[in-house]
């Protein structure tokens, strides 16, 4: 069997509490551009050929599994619960129990559930390099000007990766290394499981670090390869609300760029907010202060804004929706809505209708 014929599975680690978020909501479910954060991680598996994904849950597991189960995923998902939070190494070992037996010795991706900026093409490149080099493990790394908080990639004199050292355990010399671990790996499955069982919690946190697997494999004589992420921003995780806002800004930038290239006009992309779940047709013009959220659909040739917020709405073709607030409303083709209109939930504006200024659909109910 050739390398590219081996099975590929994924284990997504989403069991942590995320205490720095200061929230009752589990960290993987914090929303970014209309979707739970963990959905972006699962979406990154769309181009690599993964056959299945195991999501390791723990903190508020029922909430996490229920929400993911309501979403569309690019691969089938099963869940394994980590009852006691004993570190990422233990979580990965738990995740492997959710995979079927693999007599052909396939590969397994291991990813954190809080890395929403990962691109599908980056994961595909990681898998491709791993299989071409025929190594035990391949680590996605990044070069950062300020590597504070990240595990450092430690290489031997021959340039080979020998281990990953976490910030809390790094010597001053190791802390000066700028190549960092993104916590995203591709492993030969037959080598990962025994390596995980050899981990020891002899570190500052007293946990089983998944990063220590790299050293275990290297010490056993197995080669470990690396792939550098095309952009350091892909390495950015989300641990608090500051990082959540930064990730949201990047995802909005990507969404706006995609829309602009697809034939949408934005007078000021920096002040136009469109969820990644929104569908916008060609020759649509979005004016400053426009906010489109949820399952909103805007038809070809329509104009929205300035100062409009539409949530889960349908806008027909060649409409003009100016300074309007609406939620779960339907606006027909060629309709003119606003300025300063409010459409209540379930409101329907017929084709070719004119609401006029200061319109409130609730008054007509």
SS3 85: coil
Active site annotation includes 6: no
Specify whether the CB–CB gap between 249 and 243 falls below 8 A: no
**Catalytic residue among 20, 241, 258, 282, which?**
20
* Contact indicator for 105, 6 with CB cutoff of 8 Å: yes
Rounded CA-CA distance 216/162 in Å is: 9
Within 153-282, residue ranges assigned H as helices are: 172-175, 189-197, 212-219, 241-261
CA distance linking residue 227 with residue 143, whole number of Å: 11
**81 bridge partner residues:** 57
Quick one: which H or E segment has residue 139?
strand 137-143
Sheet containing 303-304: order of strands: 265-266, 285-286, 303-304, 320-321, 336-337
From CA 176, how far away is CA 314, in angstroms rounded?
53
**What is d(CA 335, CA 217) in angstroms, rounded to the nearest whole number?**
64
Q: Which tokens sit at 190?
A: 């037959």
Structure tokens at 223: 């080669």
H/E stretch holding 291 reads strand 291-293
Cβ(319)–Cβ(341) below 8 Å: no
Catalytic residue numbers read: 20
């Amino acid at each position: 069997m050739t390398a590219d014929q081996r099975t590929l599975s994924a284990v997504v680690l989403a069991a942590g509490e995320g205490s720095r978020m200061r929230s009752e909501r589990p960290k993987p479910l914090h929303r970014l551009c209309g979707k739970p954060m963990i959905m972006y991680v699962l979406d990154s598996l769309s181009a690599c050929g993964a056959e299945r994904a195991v999501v390791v849950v723990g903190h508020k597991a029922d909430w996490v599994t229920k929400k993911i189960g309501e979403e569309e995923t690019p691969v089938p998902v099963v869940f394994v619960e980590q009852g006691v939070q004993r570190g990422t190494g233990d979580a990965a070992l738990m995740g492997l129990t959710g995979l079927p037996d693999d007599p052909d010795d396939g590969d397994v991706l291991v990813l954190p559930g809080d890395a929403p900026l990962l691109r599908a093409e980056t994961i595909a490149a990681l898998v491709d390099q791993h299989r071409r080099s025929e190594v035990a493990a391949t680590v996605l790394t990044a070069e950062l000007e300020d590597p504070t908080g990240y595990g450092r990639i430690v290489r031997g004199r021959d340039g080979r990766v020998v281990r990953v050292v976490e910030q809390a355990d790094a010597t001053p010399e190791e802390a000066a290394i700028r190549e960092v671990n993104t916590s995203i790996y591709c492993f030969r499955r037959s080598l990962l499981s025994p390596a995980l069982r050899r981990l020891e919690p002899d570190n500052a946190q007293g946990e089983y670090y998944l990063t220590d697997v790299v050293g275990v494999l290297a010490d056993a004589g197995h080669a470990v390869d690396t792939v550098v992420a095309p952009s350091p921003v892909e390495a950015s995780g989300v641990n608090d609300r500051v990082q959540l806002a930064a990730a949201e800004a990047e995802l909005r930038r990507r969404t706006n760029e995609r829309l602009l290239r697809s034939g949408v006009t934005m007078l000021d992309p920096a002040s136009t907010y469109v969820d990644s779940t929104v569908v916008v047709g060609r020759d649509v013009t979005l004016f400053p202060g426009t906010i489109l959220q949820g399952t909103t659909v805007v038809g070809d040739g329509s104009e929205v804004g300035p100062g409009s917020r539409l949530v889960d709405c349908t806008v027909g073709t060649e409409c003009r929706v100016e300074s309007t607030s609406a939620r779960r409303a339907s606006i027909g083709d060629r309709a003119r809505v606003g300025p300063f209109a409010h459409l209540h939930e379930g409101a329907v504006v017929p084709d070719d209708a004119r609401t006029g200024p200061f319109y409130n659909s609730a008054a007509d109910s």
